[in-house]
Structure 1
């Protein structure tokens, strides 16, 4: 399937590009056509997609599972550790047991693809102003009642339009559109683990970075295995209580904290995002406890983003988060000792920018997803006082 330049412009002008409507791209709800940041002349006029192949050609055996008796299997990818009977699927809905072998149903089957600024992920200490080729498949292993992309994350593969794009094709598109990074995002990369793993291997061989935008609900062994091909991770820390995770996200907090500690130990670059939802996780004491844990266990230099909630999915009875609440959370984290604390979904707020802990000067000026200026050298040193700012600042850091 080929998307002509004329068709691309027609679809872009409508603000949505949707696989399910016959175009090879789905633009998730929080992505606007004006945000694409595709350089002039870099349209999608040469992109070609195919319909998914018939089974079993597209099936790929899953990684990280254990065969059990009576043709059952146990999945060892995420903390649910699903025991799955023959012809059944795990909690994620995208991994299926077929006669004692576990298969992923979404390998090479993206339902969403887009060129984004890396700031949209958000990753603020990672190649500022660069582009990321962003892809997703159907599925997730938890269910947040405020999910932004519920129409792809909270469905099974057969419920959303997808196209065939193998790992080498992912790499080719990233190269074609001068994307320094591939981002596995929008839904949950953990559930399309094998697709991420294979695509990341191909990309790193060509000097392209790989980042996952994840809920962090993954077991240690697969996380460690995948991180050898990743150059960055963004973790959504939903809240700091098991009650919130259990009742609002159908998940668990402790495995996410374990993931953050593993990322710390591995030395890979990672950032944390906390969506502040009014009355549910905006308690001052909870934010203090969270900030203290991050400072004590992860250190002062991990970037933390406090983002503003807007009514979405199953939570439509709450208002957007007050700006003062986001500012309160940021101030608490800064007072705790965290050095890089940001606000999200507040375009133009000073808290979008990066300030040097050494001299206090603004060294990365952001307005929304736009970079006004960067006053760092390629090794991440402040141009004013030479203070070392942690992060991924050069393409050299993407090479294996």
Structure 2
């Protein structure tokens, strides 16, 4: 096994992990909340280093990332485990799996970079389950990827410590974060975590120069009040800025929330429109299918600059970072430096 980073040795072969905001105290022979960081003999091991269960070449828009290398492909990897236990998880069959799962297969960091380049991808994304708990592996692969001018992406729940995020600062380009609710009660009850560490990590990612986009799955009766949505939008405006893309996505029943109805599209449209009114330049709807609110519009004149149909992208009014109608600036990452 690969020794983990970011832990402290305590008495009696006990250790404290400082990678995610749970900061688990792990006794000999036990695992953290994530299920994949294991104490053996007073040493913490990253049990899924070099172990993958999901591998695909996806459009970057599938993450979803709309302002990071738009129209490109992203070589995407996932493994097992998560530091949340969300009742509505759409990837529960891997995020809640154990290390005994036979489908895990080996992939070295070097092989991952080679496959990314061979696939024609512009970036590598660690996704499908929580990449923060895989820390040592994305860090190793991403460091190699950056030397090959590949972008690097976390699709994350944001439950990473300041120490963990600082270690990623020289490697990670994009921090696509789920802000699952603006209620700590929701986080404790539905996810098994807390809200504030997610907000702290997201603000720090922005401060460290990462491209940040937020995603909120709007669940009827759980986190969909306009009061809560407005509080979230105002937090993004104050802490991340008006050019931060915000995705509000439609819920569909899954895992332990099969009795909850799908989100009403009209409700999503109201949230989108309120985000615009409050000053977000790039709000989006997701999981709605061929909706005009999936497009990118110039915040100055309102003209469409990027149109989307599913994961197909068509640039209609954009030259470099400029709206061809009014000359207004459109903020997005067009290349990796």
User: Please, what TM-score do these two structures have when normalized by structure 1?
Assistant: 0.83
- Report the Cα offset of residue 154 of structure 1: 1.0
Kept in 2, the 8 Å contact 1:138–1:160? The answer is no
Instruction: Report the CA distance between 1:289 and its aligned residue.
Output: 1.1
Q: Which whole-Å CA distance do the structure 2 matches of 1:131 and 1:375 have between them?
A: 22
Task: Give 3-state SS (helix, strand or coil) of 2:305's partner.
Answer: strand
Match of 2:180 in 1: 238
Structure 1 residue runs without a partner (length 5+):
1-58
Per the alignment, in what secondary structure is the counterpart of residue 157 of structure 1?
coil
1:295 aligns with 2:237: yes
1:118 and 2:56 matched: no
Q: Which residue of 2 aligns with 1:389?
A: 330
Show structure 2 runs of 5+ residues with no match: none
Q: Give CA deviations for 1:91-131 in whole Å, capped at 9, x if unaligned.
A: 10001011111000001100100010000000000111100
Match of 1:362 among 304, 307, 325: 304
- Does the aligned pair in 2 maintain the 1:152–1:160 contact within 8 Å? no
User: In structure 2, what is the equivalent of residue 135 of structure 1?
Assistant: 77
On the 8 A contact 2:173/2:210 being kept in 1, the answer is: yes
Give 1:160 deviation, angstroms: 5.0
* Matched position secondary structure for 2:160: coil
In structure 2, the partner of 1:279 is 221
1:332 equivalent in structure 2: 274
Distance in structure 2 (CA, Å) of the matches to 1:264 and 1:384: 30
Deviation at 1:372, TM superposition (A): 2.4
Identify which range, 364-373 or 275-284, moves more after superposition.
364-373
Cα distance in 1 for partners of 2:59, 2:202 equals: 24
The structure where strand makes up a greater share of residues is 2
Distance 2:310 2:96 in 1: 28
| 1:94 alignment partner, one of 30, 36, 42 | 36
Q: Distance in 2 between matches of 1:279 and 1:160?
A: 38
- The CA distance in 2 between the partners of 1:296 and 1:116, in whole Å, is 32
Aligned length in residues: 337
Post-superposition CA distance 1:66-99 (Å, at most 9, x none): 0111111100001111111111111100010111
- Other-structure match for 2:27: 85
Matched, 1:145 2:87: yes
SS in 2 for 1:346: coil
Question: 1-side partners of 2:277 and 2:319: how far apart?
Answer: 28
Preserved contact between residue 116 and residue 123 of structure 2 (Cα < 8 Å)? yes
Structure 1 segments of 4+ aligned residues over 3 angstroms from their partners: none
Does structure 1 residue 373 correspond to structure 2 residue 315? Answer: yes
- Which of 182, 191, 194 aligns to 2:136? It is 194
Secondary structure at the aligned position of 1:333 is classed as helix
Counterpart Cα distance in 2 of 1:361 and 1:136 = 37
Q: CA deviation at 1:374?
A: 4.6
Task: Name the counterpart of 1:165.
Answer: 107
Structure 1 residue 366: deviation in Å? 0.5
Deviation at 1:373, TM superposition (A): 2.5
Q: Please give the alpha-carbon distance, in whole angstroms, between the structure 2 residues aligned to 1:257 and 1:162.
A: 32
Does residue 70 of the first structure (1) align with residue 12 of the second (2)? yes
Query: 1:120, 1:369 within 8 Å by CA — same for their partners in 2?
Result: yes
Question: C-alpha deviations, 1:299-326, integer Å up to 9, x for none?
Answer: 1110000000000010001111010111
Q: Normalising by structure 2, what TM-score?
A: 0.98
- The question of whether the paired residues in 1 share the 8 Å contact of 2:303 and 2:317 is answered with no
